[in-house]
Structure 1
Amino acid sequence: MNRVIHFEIHAGDPERAARFYGDVFGWKIEEYRLPGVEMEDENRYWTVMTGPEGEPGINGGLMFRRGRPAPAGGQAVNAYICTLGVADLDASLARVQKAGGKIAVPRMAVSGIGWLAYCTDTEGNTFGMMQEDESAR
């Protein structure tokens, strides 16, 4: 079976996006630099560490958006949606809003599995968050 091993977030302002994901989820995001090489903006790249090695999950990258403008509000999703497991969905939703993101689809029950919500980051990208709770109805 083929598994997802890396993700990339496209951003009009990668440094703003890095602050957002660091503030909301505590991710460690650092610009990748080759010694002695100056990169043009369109080629700059940030590594995204979502958690410790050895724990379930994947890491990714952050880069300048290319080819298209940021998604408009209400526009159909034109990418994979990553859903993040969170311990407290309500607290996570509050952090999203405090960091400049928006709630796209409010908290809803996924019966027998947990609570799910969708948000947009500061760059207009959609992502999901789920709090496991088998009693969700």
Structure 2
Amino acid sequence: MSDQVENAAAEEEVSYGNGRPVHFEIHAADPARAVAFYAEVFGWQSEDWTEYAGMPYFGLRTGEGPGIDGAIMQRHGDNPEPGAAVGGGVLTMGVASFDEAAERILAAGGTLAMPKYALPGMAWQGYFLDTENNVFGIHEPDPEAK
């Protein structure tokens, strides 16, 4: 094994045990609809893991490089009502263009939860609801944001 591979493996072990997020789950009353939404908006790829989980469960590959992968799973209960308090964590996805991502989200059936706003000197941020009424954010880095 090369030194680079061994070092990468050692670093992976160290960060894995220090609370670094390694997986996420999005709960959905209609998992197939949620998979289609995230595939259309962000290009995520999915694999059906229902056989292993014993319920509708779709593994997600969100891309290459820094970041994490996750899953969409069967929600045990109804989707939250729009405007309800967030009952879990909120995922925020990095995007190259806030406006283009917002267009894709709305075209795929998502809705606006909190309009685009500047994080001065850092980025543009905003929040949406997916097809299952889960809140998620998008974040476009921009040092000129005001």
TM (norm. structure 1) is 0.89
Shift of 1:44: 2.4
Cα RMSD after superposing both structures: 1.5
Q: Report if the CA contact (8 A) 2:37-2:108 is conserved.
A: yes
Shift of 1:2: 1.3
Aligned to 1:57: 67
Shift of 1:30: 1.7
Shift of 1:63: 0.6
TM (norm. structure 2) is 0.84
Query: What is the distance in 1 between the residues matched to 2:33 and 2:44?
Result: 13
Q: Percent identity?
A: 42
Aligned to 2:113: 104
- 1:77 pairs, out of 80, 86, 97, with 86
- 1:13 pairs, out of 30, 33, 48, with 30
Q: 1:69 to 1:33 in 2, by over 3 A?
A: closer
Aligned to 2:19: 2
Aligned to 1:95: 104
- 2:133 pairs, out of 102, 113, 124, with 124
- Greater relative contact order, per chain length (Cα 8 Å cut-off, separation 6+): 1
3-state secondary structure, aligned to 2:100 = helix
3-state secondary structure, aligned to 1:95 = helix
The answer to which structure has the higher helix fraction is: 2
Question: AA paired with 2:56?
Answer: R
Could you list the runs of 5+ residues in structure 1 that have no partner in the other structure?
none
3-state secondary structure, aligned to 1:10 = strand
3-state secondary structure, aligned to 1:71 = coil
Aligned to 1:44: 56
Deviations 1:70-122 (A, max 9, x none): 11111111110011000000000000000000010010000111000100000
Give the number of equivalent residue pairs: 129
Shift of 1:33: 5.2
Question: AA paired with 1:111?
Answer: P
3-state secondary structure, aligned to 2:90 = coil
After TM superposition, what 4+ stretches of structure 1 lie above 2 angstroms from structure 2?
none
Aligned to 1:133: 142
3-state secondary structure, aligned to 2:143 = coil
